């Protein structure tokens, strides 16, 4: 009697512990992207043999399979639907690309995405937005994010496509199809001590930059006691470009933002010189 009571108690504790393990958030039902949209997403991402593509919620695996078979990339997909994951791995074997495309049963919110150079998703709009912090914190600058139909709210897309596709009517009820592309930016926000060519300044120059809408940048350089605005400033991954108009001349800056330093070149009137900056402490 005593031992059967202990057994019942242990079973109860075990069941309540399991109930507390949260089921994955349902990020969307299985609706495959039409094959032409898959090709358009991978083309817009400029996927090639050096790329590692991760599809979050991979369904039958078509995005990663196409990335491997047609674009020569490698990658993996994760999905919570066991049957779809099995089907995707079987397709990879059948197509002879199982060494470059694989699929795992996993909650996409918990997937390690740090290896990606390209992340793709076709998920519900609220889910796409729940992923914003994960994407920014785990992906390296320069990684391309492609989202079918739903944007990352508050982020300015680096590129997008909008077109009509009859195949979408059965999925969304309308022909409108959107593909958003974002390039994960380096962190350029803050104060930088810049060394510019001597004709611009012999002293270190204070450069101040702000990032807005995640992928955009604005700022100014303090030259001869005046703040000169960075014109046409752009940050695409690690690549920073801006112009400075000083003394009737325009100086075109390009630079690579790597952690706490920037190295690059500045061109004006056919003359090119080096410039650099270090993040101010």
Q: What is the binding site for ligand SAM (CB under 6 A)?
A: 24-28, 30-33, 55, 57-59, 62-63, 78-81, 84, 107-109, 122-123, 148
Find the residue with minimal CB distance to ligand SAM: 57
Handedness of CA 223, 229, 234, 237 (dihedral sign): positive
84 HSE (CA, 13 A, CB side): 17
Handedness of CA 56, 61, 63, 68 (dihedral sign): positive
> 104 vs 250, which CB is nearer to ligand SAM?
104
Residue 136, C-beta contacts closer than 8 angstroms, at least 6 positions apart: 184, 214
Instruction: Round to whole Å and give the CA distance between 105 and 84.
Output: 9
Shortest Å, Cβ 228 to ligand SAM: 46
Shortest Å, Cβ 109 to ligand SAM: 6
Burial of 45 (0-12, 13-18, 19+ CB in 10 A): buried
Q: Among candidates 242, 251, 240, which has minimal Cα distance to 273? A: 251
Shortest Å, Cβ 53 to ligand SAM: 11
> 147 vs 268, which CB is nearer to ligand SAM?
147
Shortest Å, Cβ 104 to ligand SAM: 10
> 12 vs 30, which CB is nearer to ligand SAM?
30
Instruction: Round to whole Å and give the CA distance between 159 and 179.
Output: 9
Shortest Å, Cβ 269 to ligand SAM: 50
Residue 131, C-beta contacts closer than 8 angstroms, at least 6 positions apart: 56, 108, 109, 121, 123, 152
Shortest Å, Cβ 27 to ligand SAM: 3
Element (H, E) at 169: helix 169-172
> 148 vs 257, which CB is nearer to ligand SAM?
148
DSSP 8-state class, residue 187: -
> 24 vs 259, which CB is nearer to ligand SAM?
24
Shortest Å, Cβ 18 to ligand SAM: 18
> 60 vs 158, which CB is nearer to ligand SAM?
60
Locate 226 and state its tokens: 């005046």
> 63 vs 277, which CB is nearer to ligand SAM?
63
Q: What angle do CA 136, 138, 144 make, to 5 degrees?
A: 65
């Amino acid at each position: 009697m005593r031992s059967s009571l202990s057994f019942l108690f242990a079973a109860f504790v075990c069941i309540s512990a399991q109930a507390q393990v949260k089921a994955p958030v349902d990020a969307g039902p299985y609706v495959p992207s039409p094959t032409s949209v898959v090709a358009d997403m991978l083309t817009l991402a400029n996927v090639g043999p050096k790329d590692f593509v991760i599809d979050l919620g991979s369904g039958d695996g078509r995005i990663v399979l196409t990335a491997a078979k047609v674009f020569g990339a490698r990658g993996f997909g994760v999905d919570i639907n066991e049957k779809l994951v099995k089907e995707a791995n079987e397709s990879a074997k059948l197509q002879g690309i199982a060494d470059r495309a694989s699929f795992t049963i996993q909650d996409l919110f918990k997937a390690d995405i740090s290896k990606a150079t390209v992340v793709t998703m076709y998920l519900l709009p609220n889910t796409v937005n729940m992923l914003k912090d994960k994407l920014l914190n785990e992906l390296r600058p320069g990684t391309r994010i492609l989202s079918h139909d739903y944007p990352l709210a508050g982020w300015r897309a680096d590129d997008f496509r909008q077109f009509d596709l009859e195949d979408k009517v059965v999925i969304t009820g309308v022909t409108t199809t959107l593909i958003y592309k974002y390039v994960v930016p380096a962190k350029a926000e803050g104060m930088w001590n810049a060394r510019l060519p001597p004709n611009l300044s012999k002293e270190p120059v204070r450069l101040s930059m702000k990032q807005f809408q995640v992928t955009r940048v604005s700022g100014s350089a303090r030259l001869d006691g005046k703040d000169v605005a960075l014109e046409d400033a752009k940050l695409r991954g690690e690549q920073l470009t801006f112009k400075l108009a000083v003394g009737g001349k325009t100086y075109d800056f390009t630079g690579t933002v790597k952690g706490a330093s920037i190295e690059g070149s500045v061109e004006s009137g056919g003359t090119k010189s080096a410039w650099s900056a270090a993040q101010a402490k």
